[in-house]
Amino acid sequence: MNYNWNWGIFWQPSPNGTGNYLDMLLSGLVLTIETALLAWIIALVIGTIVGVMRTLPSKAASAIGFCYVEFFRNIPLLVQLFLWFFVLPELLPRSAGLWLKQMPNAPFWTASIGVGLFMSVRVAEQLRAGIGSLPRGQKMAATALGLTTTQAYSYVLLPIAFRVILPPLTSEFLSTIKNTSVAITIGLIELTGQARAMQEFSFQVFEAFTAATVLYLLINIVVVIGMRLLERQVAIPGYISGK
Amino acid sequence: MFSNFDFDVIRRSLPYLFLDGMTFTLMLTALSAVGGLVFGTLLALMRLSGLKLLGRIAGLYVDLMRSLPLVLVIFWFYFLVPYIGQWLTGASRPIRVGAFASTLVTFIMFEAAYFSEIMRAGIQSISKGQPAAASALGLTYSQSMRYIVLPQAFRNMLPVLLTQTIVLFQDTSLVYVLSIPDFLGAASKVAQRDGRLVEMYLFAAAVYFVISCFASWGVRRLQARIAIVR
């Protein structure tokens, strides 16, 4: 391969004048993590609501949940981000649309909310499966004890269901982090975006992408280890992977 | 709010959107799914081969691909494929690779990781007695895989494989980052040329929605039909 390797490139000053190339990548890493965390919070909150709705006895609630899931699952994330970023401001009343367009950090908020909504569907489906995997007797016993539906969910069903789905939730969280890179298309310069920018400024393609790859691997390792610790922490003795 | 909509822009660009854009998207999806399945099955066989080194290599590859965002992988291969081509053909400089070939390689290599996990689960779902019986009958490893294990694994996993293909169909829209005119890329080109972002993106979303919905409905029906009664 007649490629001109130059690993020292990371310590050379970057053209945007805020330090060297390594700083550039690290600022992208921080933005990736921030976007992913906000998106994950949105995904968890909405995903929990929709997931619970789909298991409720009420026909209307599960129909709404079903429509929500189908809508967000059958449109590619990239198109969804375009809808939020380019289309929504045009459909709103003039003043609201203008406010959206002039919002500082618009790509960040759009990406967080867009990825969050996209992932909320996955969380909802996992949670629905988790609640479905619990023995029917749990809900019945809760009802027999006189708990209302809300109480049954918050004290009996959800605490166990969330423990059951913790491993798949880990991979959904990893997907959330990876999916933030799609926001490069609406101008969010996160880790992948910074690697691309570095490649354009310095022509050191493979060094830039290798660094981004290593950083993504590091995030993955940290998340996996963290979630394992959490799993061990919340395990109930004598129940699912508890000791 | 639809009063100043120009739905005619959609009608005018229909031939371009579907003949150029959608053809690219569907071709890319189909070929990547087939290629990804072939390589994915090989990776799965490597992991289950019992040879430590082979299993390690396949495992590392799968884990690496699965922990990277697709956008980054698309960029990686976009720049890497010319060098791989140079290395394969022994040319003196990186060869030029067309947009379609480059993205096809990317998606095959990326999807192989995901398909391999599905096929691995499928192969492991076959009871141990079957390959044992096959080798008792005198079948070699490759015969027992080809005639006994893989056909059943494939059949058991068909709904999952097809669902993954629907995900792949949606993911091909990400070639947008290379300004390649797939369906979304074509829609976006028209949108920017005519200043009709709202109409074109809504239309693109609707098309993706209808195709994906229809496909997942088909998968559900298929799943009900081919489920083996045990």
- For chain B, how big is the Rg over CA atoms in Å? 21
pLDDT at B175 over 70: yes
Give the DSSP H or E segment for B133: helix B129-136
Record: contact B64-A76, CB cut-off 8 A: no
Q: Does A4 touch chain B (CB under 8 A)?
A: no
* Mean pLDDT calculated for residue range B4-11: 81
Q: A243 falls in which pLDDT band (50, 70, 90)?
A: very low
Record: contact A192-B72, CB cut-off 8 A: yes
Percent of chain B with pLDDT over 70: 97
The backbone torsions φ and ψ at residue A56, rounded to the nearest 5 degrees and listed phi first, read -70, 155
User: Is A131:A52 a contact under the CB 8 Å cutoff?
Assistant: yes
pLDDT of residue A4: 82
- Whole-model pTM: value is 0.91
pLDDT at B9 over 70: yes
**How many CA atoms, within 13 angstroms, populate the side-chain half-sphere of residue B149?**
28
Range with lowest mean pLDDT among A99-108, A112-121, B132-141: A99-108
Of residues B209, B3, B175, the one with CA closest to residue A74: B209
Q: Does B95 touch chain A (CB under 8 A)?
A: no
Contacts with B77 from chain A: Cβ below 8 Å: none
Task: Indicate the burial class of B120 (C-beta count within 10 angstroms; 0-12, 13-18, 19 or more).
Answer: buried
Higher-pLDDT residue of A231 and B108 is: B108
Q: Does B69 touch chain A (CB under 8 A)?
A: yes
pLDDT of residue B228: 67
Residue B12: alpha-carbon gap to chain centroid: 31
Contacts with A87 from chain B: Cβ below 8 Å: 197-198, 201-202
Q: Does A77 touch chain B (CB under 8 A)?
A: yes
Record: contact A74-B171, CB cut-off 8 A: no
pLDDT at A242 over 70: no
Which residue in chain A is spatially nearest to B177 when comparing CA positions? A185
pLDDT digit string (tens) for A4-59?
888 888 888 888 777 889 999 999 999 999 999 999 999 999 999 999 999 998 99
pLDDT digit string (tens) for A196-227?
999 988 888 899 999 999 999 999 999 999 99
Record: contact B202-A83, CB cut-off 8 A: yes
Mean pLDDT computed over every residue of chain A: 91
Which residue in chain A is spatially nearest to B76 when comparing CA positions? A209
Rounded Cα gap, residues A155 and A43, in angstroms = 21
Q: What is the ipTM of this complex?
A: 0.90
Q: Does B76 touch chain A (CB under 8 A)?
A: yes
User: Is B67:A216 a contact under the CB 8 Å cutoff?
Assistant: yes
User: Is B215:B166 a contact under the CB 8 Å cutoff?
Assistant: yes
pLDDT digit string (tens) for B189-229?
999 998 889 999 999 999 999 999 999 999 999 988 887 66
